[in-house]
């Protein structure tokens, strides 16, 4: 099976091609350009260099959240469009689960954390078992003061990945909780992780693919607050 995967849920953007679990190609970029300008051109270049076309792709995969509201919308919209136009299946996977695949070499507990602002992170906990991450918690927005006791109770160091890793590491230093900080090349989201996480998911059509935000956007929260004040 040939999977074309997209990751645009945070500042880095990447696309990857996997055939039967083996990485054929990955193209990553972390620039000031918006993902709406970079994501599809990256995929086009990658396919061309691999001497493949969209007709060769069996499944489209995308990180459908949590993460940047704009980034998630761009990635999901791109994959919905490709799946609809090609009449091929697609699947959305958790950004956090995709990042957990970066902890394979580290083993043990993997703690993906994305900066969710307002003193919170998007997080889920995983444990590497038999060469793959096994989910221990659901995806959730959580305050570091709530996350810390969970990590302490694991009884061993956690492998921190994600754009919230340094923020979390500083908090764990103060709390005296052991951790291992992923090196920069493994810390950020990647389309390879998206493709790996997609392999055991049930695919659907373009209409089935939806973003997962976990909480309201800033604009929606402000609107809700205004409505509550007006009651």
pTM, rounded to two decimals: 0.91
Tokens 């980034």 — which residue? Answer: 71
Q: What are the Cα distances from residue 34, in Å, to 13, 20, 28?
A: 9, 31, 13
Are 50 and 26 contained in the same domain?
Answer: yes
Domain span at residue 117?
A: 102-187
Residue 231 lies in a domain: no
Are 72 and 88 contained in the same domain?
Answer: yes
Q: How confident is the model at residue 33 (pLDDT cuts 50, 70, 90)?
A: low
The count of structural domains within the chain is 2
Positive or negative torsion for Cα 210, 42, 98, 2: positive
- The CATH number given to whatever domain includes residue 213 is 3.30.420.40
At 132-159, the pLDDT tens digits run 999 999 999 999 999 999 999 999 999 9
Are 21 and 92 contained in the same domain?
Answer: yes
Q: What is the pLDDT of residue 231?
A: 59
């Amino acid at each position: 099976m040939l999977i074309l995967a997209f990751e645009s849920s945070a500042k880095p953007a990447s696309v990857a091609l996997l055939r039967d679990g083996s990485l054929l190609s990955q193209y990553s970029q972390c620039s000031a350009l918006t993902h709406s300008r970079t994501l599809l051109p990256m995929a086009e270049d990658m396919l061309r260099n691999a001497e493949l076309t969209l007709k060769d792709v069996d499944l489209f995969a995308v990180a459908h959240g949590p993460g940047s509201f704009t980034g998630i919308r761009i990635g999901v919209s791109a994959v919905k469009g490709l799946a609809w136009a090609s009449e091929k299946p697609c699947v959305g996977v958790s950004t956090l689960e995709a990042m957990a695949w970066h902890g394979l070499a580290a083993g043990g507990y993997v703690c993906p954390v994305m900066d969710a602002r307002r003193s919170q992170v998007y997080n889920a906990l995983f444990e590497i078992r038999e060469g793959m991450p096994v989910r221990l918690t659901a995806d959730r927005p959580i305050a570091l003061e709530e996350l810390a006791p969970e990590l302490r109770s694991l009884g061993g160091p956690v492998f921190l990945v994600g754009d919230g890793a340094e923020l979390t590491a500083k908090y764990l230093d103060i709390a005296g909780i052991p951790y291992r900080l992923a090196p920069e090349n493994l810390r950020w989201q990647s389309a390879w992780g998206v493709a790996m996480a997609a392999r055991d998911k049930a695919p659907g059509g373009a209409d089935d693919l939806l973003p997962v935000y976990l909480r309201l956007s800033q604009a929606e929260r402000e609107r809700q607050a205004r409505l509550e004040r007006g009651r």
